[in-house]
Structure 1
Amino acid sequence: MLWAALLPALQSIDASRRIEALDGLATWCLQFTPRVAVVEASQPQPAVVMEVEASLRLFGGKRRLAQRLRDESVELGVLQVSWAPNSLAALACARAGVINGIARPLDQLLDQLPLETLTAVLEHAPTLHRLGCRTLGQVRALPRGGLSRRFDAELLAAMDRAYGLRPEAHHWAVLPDAFRARLELMARVELAPALLFGARRLLLQMSGWLAARHHGVTAFTLRWCHDAMRSKDAGDGDELTIRTAQATRDLEHLSRLLAEHLAKVELRAPVGDLELLALEVQPLDERSLSLLPEPRSADESLALVLERIAARLGPERVLRPALREDHRMEWMCHWQPAAEPRPRSRRRAVDIPQPSFVLPEPLRLAMRSDRPLYQGALQLLAGPHRVEGGWWDRAMEQGESRTRHVARDYWVALSEHAGVLWVFQARLAQDETAWFLHGVFA
């Protein structure tokens, strides 16, 4: 077995916030393995331990996983990450500042650690010091019978669990159904962009929660509480809701997106607490990696770039086309803010090709002997494709409410000089012999 122990810095916070911090760290760890537990939460140096033996290949081996834990856990306030064959030994190594607890035999490693590394031994430290014991190895060398009579049973039990002589039991952390995390800032913040330092820590926890659920977020809210010494007009706090065009759990993208929005916020009072909520999440399609390494592009995707530009310039200034469930050519596509998610549309069964370019307004064609003309006589290739609908669609045109109902027979036509065209003949109209040009094929 291979265990990792993460030792956070919690000495300067109260008991309730300490539990929140430990639960947040445990939630973040659940993205690596389901076997995560909080140990000795009531002690001065609590920790989060996790068994990662079965997850090593999934994350590229022990070295890559260890490097990722060290790099990312720093932002969550973790002081030390240590490894050992069992959780209690990993905790002892973390408290002693030993990173790698599997480089040497376990008994040789633990024998050199001080008494303070195991809580059950630390409680009897004054008596053990008078007996000349300064390390765990010296305690282990004492007669077991004398230890069991002079000290409580927990001392020997803890020593046996640390040395791998007894099995361990844990209350495993459970992944919450919804994400909600709080953070008390170290100092009062008066400028909104400075909130990003604490908000990034909450975003990292949310990214771990999303990874454990194999989901991505499409909307999240950052709330802040004003200082108790605020003015009465400032209120208790405020919040900022951010939406993404597609589900994501990319920490860097979410941080940049939040930074763009915070740059336009003006705080009405100093802020002391933050809270992050994941409002809308969706299952994220995981990318299956191939056996051989694939080249990765350093460029961002278009969706991520558009979201950042929209956050900077305003959502109404960055638009993109989106399909609608409509057979009428003029209203089949509409423009929406780029940051909004694309509506899910069903594929329509079309038995005739669709044009590459559509005219803003249909162009009425000249006629010769009841045949349409456009740079010469048109030859009808395929059709008719009947489109009829819009009786429910009313719009204001020239100060009057009119129904945008259409009844048309579309054809694919060939022009000697203009190429392949998309034309239609209006049905149920005053002049049913009229033909119109509506699109051009590339």
Structure 2
Amino acid sequence: MLWIALRPGAPHPPPHPSPHASPSTPEPEQQALAWWALQFSPRVCVIEEAVLVDVADSLRLFGGRRALLHRLRATLPSVGGTGLAAAPTALAALALLRTLPPFDLPPFNLPQAAEVQHTPPVRANLGPRHANRPAPDTRGPGPRRVVTATPPLPALACPRHQLQATLDALPLAHLSAARDHLPLLARLGCQTWGQLRALPRDGLARRFGAALLEALDRAYGLRPEAWTWTVLPETFSARLEFTGRVEVAQGLLFGAQRLLAQLDAWLQARQRGVLALTLLWEHDLVRRGELRHGELPLRTATATRDMRHLARLLGEHLARTPLAAPVLALRLDATETEPCQADNGSLLPEDLKEGESMAQLIERLSARLGAERVLRGRVLADHRPQHMQVWFPASLPVAPARPPTLPHHLCLQPPWLLPEPLRLDMRGESPWYQGPLRMLAGPERLETGWWSFADAADTEGEELALRDYYVARSPQAGLLWVYRRRSAGEPAWFLQGIYG
């Protein structure tokens, strides 16, 4: 057996957790870390302030015990983990985790490398060959290399043949079942686990109860352990309560980032990407009145797992969202997801992606400027010039469709069409636009609007009945695209488009 205890970066860990079962409602950091750990083993549980993983049956998949421990130690800080310990039993791993020093993670918005900072390495016992090996030196040979040397993640591993000697030297404060009896045990002269085990078992059971002996036997591997395994839900919905009232919508972003960390772990375990999510907030009961809650829907063009991009989008929307009352809690729901495969990396420099994609840029601009100001065009199969394309918000998802095949004569039409046709002045029988127009090509007759209503057939800007299009030249404006209206009423000339 090999149990690995992971310590999440909870901002306010409980000072005296329950010594029995794991909490029914784990902290958001614990839940996110438990979902992330499911990629290494299906046997994951939350015990008090830590996440425990039984990886005994998964060692061959990850190259053995040593390779798995080093992989966890390298990737754990990226998901908010602050400590790692391994032992043959779950309670032993949890006790070893409590002996590790605290590890401070960098803030969310700090750059990767700001200045040169060298910190003494933290020694970690990951096996006999790595017991006294210092952390690798990240300092480059040249003074121009800018590196932020972060201390390695605290880690501790105990092999099976050293389990009894290691646990006997631990203080009793690291055993949850003994915390309620620490003053009395101190008066009896018991300070360590070994001193407690040396006392008569019958007397310990009568004075302190059977739970203390049962916890000791489980920690030393003398009695089987039974825990409630973490089960990944079918749909994602996470809630977070604030310790105080949030008055400004931008203050909700910090809590939303914690919920996005849980969403990231859920998406990775489900191998899915999110298309639509909703951020909901609950107002203060005292000041909300009839207001129940507020919500902020968010949709992406493609399925994504990029939590930094989603955090930027939420920040743009929250900056323009007023709060009607203080907020006490947040909830994040993933309303639409789809299967998503991660991108394969490349060793070629020209294949490495830099910056954000076009879809992410469009979504960020739409969130900042408004969806109605960032538009995308689509070609339609229609012979009427004013109906050959339609414009819609670029942030909306677009179903992949093959563009329609257009006739070759449409290549003669200009690239710029006026929003509304401009009626031209007449000098006798000739139209004028910055001078007399000379017809170069035409007419191209379009008979349209036969399916339209009779009262809209001759309305300017709507479906017109009869048009004769010409390519004309103006002395000042250059090439123009004009047409002559031949429907009922007075014949007239209009300017429809301009050539570049």
CA distance in 1, matches of 2:378, 2:252: 35
Change (3 A) 1:178 1:294: farther
Tell me the amino acid that sits aligned with residue 299 of structure 2.
R
Quote how far apart the aligned CAs of 1:163 are. Answer: 2.7
2:87 paired with 1:91: no
Change (3 A) 1:294 1:138: farther
CA distance in 2, matches of 1:61, 1:353: 62
Tell me the amino acid that sits aligned with residue 6 of structure 1.
R
Counterpart residue number, 1:131:
188
| Contact 1:37 1:173 survives alignment (8 Å) | yes
2:372 paired with 1:316: yes
2:185 paired with 1:101: no
CA distance in 1, matches of 2:383, 2:99: 72
Tell me the amino acid that sits aligned with residue 35 of structure 2.
L
| Contact 1:321 1:336 survives alignment (8 Å) | yes
Counterpart residue number, 2:276:
219
- Partner SS state of residue 37, structure 2: coil
CA distance in 2, matches of 1:91, 1:14: 13
Work out which of the residue numbers 73, 77, 80 in structure 1 matches 2:80: 73
For 1:206-256, what per-residue CA distance to the aligned partner results, in whole angstroms no more than 9, with x for missing partners? Answer: 1111111111111111111222231537x2321111111111121111100
Counterpart residue number, 1:431:
none
For 1:104-149, what per-residue CA distance to the aligned partner results, in whole angstroms no more than 9, with x for missing partners? Answer: 7333332222112222233443443343211112223445576567
2:293 paired with 1:237: yes
CA distance in 1, matches of 2:193, 2:388: 75
| Contact 1:133 1:139 survives alignment (8 Å) | yes
| Contact 1:5 1:90 survives alignment (8 Å) | no
Counterpart residue number, 1:49:
52
| Contact 1:5 1:47 survives alignment (8 Å) | yes
- Partner SS state of residue 308, structure 1: helix
Work out which of the residue numbers 189, 214, 224 in structure 2 matches 1:157: 214
Change (3 A) 1:124 1:221: same
Which range moved further: 259-268 or 1-10?
1-10
2:233 paired with 1:176: yes
Quote how far apart the aligned CAs of 1:173 are. Answer: 1.2
CA distance in 2, matches of 1:13, 1:393: 76
- Partner SS state of residue 312, structure 2: helix
For 1:385-413, what per-residue CA distance to the aligned partner results, in whole angstroms no more than 9, with x for missing partners? Answer: xxxxx999999665397599xxxxxxxxx
- Partner SS state of residue 101, structure 1: strand
Counterpart residue number, 1:62:
69
Change (3 A) 1:333 1:402: closer
2:362 paired with 1:300: no
Which range moved further: 139-148 or 169-178?
139-148
Change (3 A) 1:150 1:272: closer
CA distance in 1, matches of 2:410, 2:33: 48
CA distance in 1, matches of 2:285, 2:157: 49
Tell me the amino acid that sits aligned with residue 73 of structure 2.
A
Tell me the amino acid that sits aligned with residue 91 of structure 2.
L
CA distance in 2, matches of 1:228, 1:69: 39
| Contact 1:257 1:311 survives alignment (8 Å) | yes
Tell me the amino acid that sits aligned with residue 318 of structure 1.
V
For 1:85-106, what per-residue CA distance to the aligned partner results, in whole angstroms no more than 9, with x for missing partners? Answer: 4321221123333642316733
Counterpart residue number, 1:37:
45
Change (3 A) 1:305 1:297: same
- Partner SS state of residue 239, structure 1: strand
Change (3 A) 1:190 1:357: farther
CA distance in 2, matches of 1:95, 1:353: 74
For 1:187-208, what per-residue CA distance to the aligned partner results, in whole angstroms no more than 9, with x for missing partners? Answer: 2111111110111111111111
- Partner SS state of residue 31, structure 1: helix
Which range moved further: 287-296 or 331-340?
287-296
Change (3 A) 1:356 1:130: farther
Counterpart residue number, 2:7:
6
Counterpart residue number, 2:392:
336
Change (3 A) 1:4 1:46: closer
- Structure 1: tracts of 5 or more residues without a match: 40-44, 362-373, 376-389, 405-442
2:285 paired with 1:228: yes
For 1:335-394, what per-residue CA distance to the aligned partner results, in whole angstroms no more than 9, with x for missing partners? Answer: 33221111133699x8x9999968469xxxxxxxxxxxx99xxxxxxxxxxxxxx99999
| Contact 2:14 2:49 survives alignment (8 Å) | no
- Partner SS state of residue 232, structure 2: coil
- Structure 2: tracts of 5 or more residues without a match: 102-153, 416-439, 442-448, 466-500
Change (3 A) 1:4 1:11: closer
| Contact 2:92 2:167 survives alignment (8 Å) | yes
CA distance in 2, matches of 1:66, 1:163: 25
Quote how far apart the aligned CAs of 1:19 are. Answer: 4.2
CA distance in 1, matches of 2:188, 2:167: 19
Work out which of the residue numbers 247, 259, 268 in structure 1 matches 2:315: 259
Counterpart residue number, 2:173:
116
| Contact 1:221 1:277 survives alignment (8 Å) | yes
Tell me the amino acid that sits aligned with residue 172 of structure 1.
W
CA distance in 1, matches of 2:74, 2:93: 17
Scaled by the length of structure 1, the TM-score of the pair is: 0.68
Counterpart residue number, 1:399:
459
- Partner SS state of residue 91, structure 1: helix
- Partner SS state of residue 171, structure 1: coil
Tell me the amino acid that sits aligned with residue 92 of structure 2.
A
Aligned residue pairs total 365
Which range moved further: 395-404 or 311-320?
395-404
Q: Percent of aligned positions with the same letter in both sequences?
A: 43
Counterpart residue number, 1:273:
329
Which range moved further: 155-164 or 329-338?
329-338
